[in-house]
Amino acid sequence: MHISEATRAFIDAHAGEDPRDLALHAKRGEPGLDLPFALDQIAGRRIARTKLPAWAACSGVVYPAHVPMEQCSSQFTAHTKARLACELIAALPHPTRLVDLTGGLGVDFWALAQQFDEAVYVERQPQLCALAAHNLHALGVRNARVEHADDVEFLRTMPPASMIYVDPARRDAHGSRTYAIEDCTPDVLALRDELLAKAPVVIIKLSPMLDWHKTVEDFQGMVQRVAVVSTGNECKELLLMLTRAPHGDVRVDCINDGDTVTFTTAEDQRPSIAPAGSIERMRYLVEPNASIMKAGAFAALQRQCPGLAQIGPNSHLFVGEQPVGAVPGRAFEIARTGGMGKRELKALLEGVTHANIAVRNFPLTAPQLRRRLKLKDGGNDYLFATTDAGGRHVLILAHKAPPATT
């Protein structure tokens, strides 16, 4: 991929600047300067510094236009897939071979390929194939082959592999976002048997909007593991790991940055509930992270953090009388609790002018409650509004707990 000296010099000279300002004020018409391309590189590297630091550190990487950079996997989620793949192929014979049927920008392929002896990137868009070939070479991936081909046609003619990775496109022909598996491209439900005929392990990346229980059912026993992956406490993707033997018991990993909570579908998923009226004596509150919330791993959270009880059947907030230590979520020290009566509110909110408000199973939204309580947003106070086991609407005023020491 040829980049002129003038374009490269412009990128290096303006690497730390805002590409939007550059687009308005940069001198145009300089001989050899491809300004749109240069702006894409400056914007792409800016995103990569936080999203893909290993790519940002490599001067040879070429970035696409803005939208693919915003939509691509982060380094964390890509490495999470690589770690899971490594576990799944550990017992398979060598040489191991990966086929990524939906290569795209190549971030997931870059991380996965390093776990295999051979790796094949498949993509139907020729410009993405050229970009991936360039970047994989720049990043030092030497075991990869890039194939410009239709994913389904390649699947049907390819030799067997150790693992197939698929990230179905979640937009239709008109560019509208889709969530149902059968509306994505390719339709991995329809291709399930063909995928498993070609590889003993298949990893499928799906929208975090999907109900993982129903999704597992849709694959009719072929899902061995599920991973709900979040970063920055935002749920990013749902990963299904399929193997050839039917599975009755599915392992679920709730991964949020450095925290992982694991459970199996055979385990009792009903969390213990704090008795009505017991909230007033509790000293600590835990708000589970996004992956636990998405997976409904509330009983698993309690097994990992003994002493916590869920406030109500649908509250998904946990309280305890003893210090909670390190938790997969946010931990708070409770200052005061109360109900919605005038006297209780007056005592609860004495001296409080600002608060970060969160509601869980409560009849008012956070903005509605803020207006009713006449509180401004922000500050160091946190106000949780929920419903206890007795059906009483309760407010909990809390402050962030200090970091747990090991």
First vs last C-alpha separation in the chain? 50
Of 28-32, 145-149, 286-290, 384-388, which range is least confident? Answer: 28-32
- Do 242 and 195 touch, CB atoms closer than 8 A? yes
Query: Percent of the chain beyond pLDDT 70?
Result: 97
- Residue 255 pLDDT: 98
- Residue 179 pLDDT: 67
Q: What is the CA radius of gyration of the chain?
A: 25
- Do 290 and 115 touch, CB atoms closer than 8 A? no
Confidence of residue 205 (pLDDT cuts 50, 70, 90): very high
Average pLDDT score over the chain: 93
pLDDT at 95 over 90: yes
Question: Shortest CA distance to 353 belongs to which of 329, 394, 323, 383?
Answer: 383
Give the separation between CA 282 and CA 254, rounded to whole angstroms: 27
- Residue 67 pLDDT: 76
Confidence of residue 25 (pLDDT cuts 50, 70, 90): confident
Q: What is the mean pLDDT of residues 38-62?
A: 94
Give the separation between CA 114 and CA 112, rounded to whole angstroms: 5
The residue length of the chain stands at 406
Q: The whole model's pTM is what?
A: 0.91
**What's the pLDDT tens digit per position in 286-319?**
999 999 999 999 999 999 999 999 999 999 999 9
Confidence of residue 234 (pLDDT cuts 50, 70, 90): very high
- Do 154 and 121 touch, CB atoms closer than 8 A? no
- Residue 218 pLDDT: 95
Give the separation between CA 73 and CA 236, rounded to whole angstroms: 9
Query: Percent of the chain beyond pLDDT 90?
Result: 81
Q: Which residue has the tokens 């636990």?
A: 292
CA dihedral angle for residue 184, residue 190, residue 193, residue 195, rounded to 10 degrees: -30
**What's the pLDDT tens digit per position in 132-185?**
999 999 999 999 999 999 999 999 999 999 999 999 987 655 556 666 888 889
Q: What is the mean pLDDT of residues 118-130?
A: 97
* 76 SS3 class: helix
Enter the DSSP assignment of 305: S
Give the separation between CA 259 and CA 308, rounded to whole angstroms: 17
Confidence of residue 43 (pLDDT cuts 50, 70, 90): very high
Q: What are phi and psi of 162, to 5 degrees?
A: -80, -40
pLDDT at 397 over 70: yes
CA angle (232, 234, 236) in 5-degree steps? 110
Q: What is the mean pLDDT of residues 81-95?
A: 97
